[in-house]
C-alpha cells in the first residue's frame, strides 16, 4: 500500500504549510492595498503612541525625576486642601448656630405652638394680581347670587403633615416610605442637623423629633454620619473633599406590636416521614423607612463589601447628604414643591429587561399576621445610639 505522507520526497505537512504561508501573504498584500484599512491601522497606532503613559515612558530619566518631584508637591497640595475643608466644617458649625433660631421658629409655626404675626406672614407671590382678580370675580358672583354667608373656614393647628408632605414630594425619600410608615411620619415635628464639636472627628448628626405617638417611646431618633477629610495614603490624588465613610443609627423603642421594620409570619411545614403538618411563627425583616436608623455598617476590617452592599451604603450616604444640605435648610420649599429638582439632575442608566424573581420556598406557605396590638403607654425619650 502506497504511503501518502510524502510526495517526491517532501513531507505533506510541509507542503500544506507552504500553501498556508502563500495564502497568508496574498491576503496581507490585499489588505495593505486597501486605503481604508491602512487609515484605520494608522489611527490605531497614533492613538497608542500618544497616550499619556506611553509619552511619559519615552521621557529621559532626568525629566521623570522632575515629574516625581511635582507629584510630591501635588500630595502636599491635597493635604492643604484637607485642612481647608476642616475649616469649612468649622464655618458650617458656626453658621448652623446662627440658622438655628430661625429653624426653631419654623418648628413653632409648623407645630402651631406659635402663631406668626401679620408682618411675619406677609408674602407677595408672582401670581398675586391673578389671585386678586379671581377673588374680586368670586365676590361679585357671590353678591349677584345673594348666597348665604359661607361656613367658617377650617383653621387647623400649625401646618398639618408638614414633614410628611416633604417625604412624599421628594422621590429619593418617598421610595423609602411604605404605606404603614405614613401614620408614623405624620407625627414628625422637626429635623435638625448637628455638627461635630471642635477637636472631635468630623461628623454630623440628623435628629428626627417626634411628638408622642402610639408607635415608639422615643422623642428623638438620630443618625450619625462619620466623615473623613484627608487624602488616602494609597491614592492621595483621588481626594476631592470630605466624604462619608460610615454611619451609626439608634435603637427605636417600639411599643408592643408596633414595630413596622419586622413582620410576623406563619409557616406551615410538612414532616417528610410522618406527613404531619406543623405551624411555626417567626419574625422576618420588613421594608420600612425606619430601617434608615439601622444602617449597614462599612467594613472596617479591610474586607470589601459585595456589590449590593456597596450600593446600599452609597445610597444611604447620599440620603444623609441630601437631608443635611437640601431638606433641612430649605424645608418650606420642598413642602410647596418649589425646590423639587428636575429629573434631569438624576440621570438613570439605560433601561434593560426586568426579570421577576420568585423567592417562595417550595412546600411552605406563608401568611402575614396582623402585628397591631394595644399600645403600651410610656414616657418619650431619645433613642439610644447603636
Higher pLDDT, 158 or 146: 158
- Confidence grade of residue 129 (pLDDT, cut at 50, 70, 90): low
Query: What span, in angstroms and rounded, lies between the C-alpha atoms of 253 and 384?
Result: 9
Q: In terms of C-beta density within 10 A (0-12 exposed, 13-18 middle, 19 or more buried), how is residue 315 classed?
A: middle
pLDDT 10s digits, 279-307 = 778 888 999 999 999 998 876 655 677 88
Of residues 84 and 127, more confidently modeled: 84
Average pLDDT over residues 4-26: 56
Please state the pTM of the whole predicted model. 0.68
pLDDT exceeds 70 at position 131 = no
Alpha helices in the chain (DSSP H): 12-32, 35-49, 52-57, 61-111, 128-145, 162-169, 171-174, 182-185, 307-322, 331-336
Cα 111 to Cα 212: distance, rounded to the nearest angstrom: 13
The confidence score (pLDDT) of residue 378 equals 42
Q: How far apart are CA 315 and CA 326, in angstroms?
A: 16
Q: Decide: 232 and 116 in contact? Cβ < 8 Å.
A: no
Residue 36 pLDDT greater than 90, yes or no: no
Q: Is the pLDDT of residue 365 over 60?
A: no
Task: Assess contact for 228 and 89: CB atoms under 8 A.
Answer: no
Q: Note the pLDDT of residue 267.
A: 79
Least confident segment among 97-101, 245-249, 372-376: 372-376
What pLDDT was estimated at residue 13? 58
pLDDT at 301: 57
Boundaries of every domain in the chain: 24-58, 86-116+158-256+289-299+306-344
Mean pLDDT estimate for the chain: 78
Superfamily of domain 86-116+158-256+289-299+306-344 in CATH is Nucleosome assembly protein (3.30.1120.90)
Q: Which residue has the higher pLDDT, 120 or 22?
A: 120
Confidence check: pLDDT of 326 > 90: yes
| CB burial of residue 250 (10 Å; 0-12, 13-18, 19+) | buried
H/E run at residue 214: none
Is residue 138 scored above 90 in pLDDT? Answer: no
Q: Give the per-residue pLDDT at 282.
A: 83
324 touches 206 (CB < 8 A)? yes
pLDDT computed for residue 58 by the predictor? 84
Is the pLDDT at 12 greater than 60? The verdict is: no
**What integer pLDDT is reported at residue 14 of this predicted model?**
56
Supply the pLDDT for residue 120: 92
Tell me what the mean pLDDT of segment 128-133 comes to.
Answer: 60
Whether residue 320 contacts residue 225, with contact meaning beta carbons closer than 8 Å, is answered with: yes
Separation of alpha carbons 225 and 207, rounded Å: 11
Amino acid at each position: 500500500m502506497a504511503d501518502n505522507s510524502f510526495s517526491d520526497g517532501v513531507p505533506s505537512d510541509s507542503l500544506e504549510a507552504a500553501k498556508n504561508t502563500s495564502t497568508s501573504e496574498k491576503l496581507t498584500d490585499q489588505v495593505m492595498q486597501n486605503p481604508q484599512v491602512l487609515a484605520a491601522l494608522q489611527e490605531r497606532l497614533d492613538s497608542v503612541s500618544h497616550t499619556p503613559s506611553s509619552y511619559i515612558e519615552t521621557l529621559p530619566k532626568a525629566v521623570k525625576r522632575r515629574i516625581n518631584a511635582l507629584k510630591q508637591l501635588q500630595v502636599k497640595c491635597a493635604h492643604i486642601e484637607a485642612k481647608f475643608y476642616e475649616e469649612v466644617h468649622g464655618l458650617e458649625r458656626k453658621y448652623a448656630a446662627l440658622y438655628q433660631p430661625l429653624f426653631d421658629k419654623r418648628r413653632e409655626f409648623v407645630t402651631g405652638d406659635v402663631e406668626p404675626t401679620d408682618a411675619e406672614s406677609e408674602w407677595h407671590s408672582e401670581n398675586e394680581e391673578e389671585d386678586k382678580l379671581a377673588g374680586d370675580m368670586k365676590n361679585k358672583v357671590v353678591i349677584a347670587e345673594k348666597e348665604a354667608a359661607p361656613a367658617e373656614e377650617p383653621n387647623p393647628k400649625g401646618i398639618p403633615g408638614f414633614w410628611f408632605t416633604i417625604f412624599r414630594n421628594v422621590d429619593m425619600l418617598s421610595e423609602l416610605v411604605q404605606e404603614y410608615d405614613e401614620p408614623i411620619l405624620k407625627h414628625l415635628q422637626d429635623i435638625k442637623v448637628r455638627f461635630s464639636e471642635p477637636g472631635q472627628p468630623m461628623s454630623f448628626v440628623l435628629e428626627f423629633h417626634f411628638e408622642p405617638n402610639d408607635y415608639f417611646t422615643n422623642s428623638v431618633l438620630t443618625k450619625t454620619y462619620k466623615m473623613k477629610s484627608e487624602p488616602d495614603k494609597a491614592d492621595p490624588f483621588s481626594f476631592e473633599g470630605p466624604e462619608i465613610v460610615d454611619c451609626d443609627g439608634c435603637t427605636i423603642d417600639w411599643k408592643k406590636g408596633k414595630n413596622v421594620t419586622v413582620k410576623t409570619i406563619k409557616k406551615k411545614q410538612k414532616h417528610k416521614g410522618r406527613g404531619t403538618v406543623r405551624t411555626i411563627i417567626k419574625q422576618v425583616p420588613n421594608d420600612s423607612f425606619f430601617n434608615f436608623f439601622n444602617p449597614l455598617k462599612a467594613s472596617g476590617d479591610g474586607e470589601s463589601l459585595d456589590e449590593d452592599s456597596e450600593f446600599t451604603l452609597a445610597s444611604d450616604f447620599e440620603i444623609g447628604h441630601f437631608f443635611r444640605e437640601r431638606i433641612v435648610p430649605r424645608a418650606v420649599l420642598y413642602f410647596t414643591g418649589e425646590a423639587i429638582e428636575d429629573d434631569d439632575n438624576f440621570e438613570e442608566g439605560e433601561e434593560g429587561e426586568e426579570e421577576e424573581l420568585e423567592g417562595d420556598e417550595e412546600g411552605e406557605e406563608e401568611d402575614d399576621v396582623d402585628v397591631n396590638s394595644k399600645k403600651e403607654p410610656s414616657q418619650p425619650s431619645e433613642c439610644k445610639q447603636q
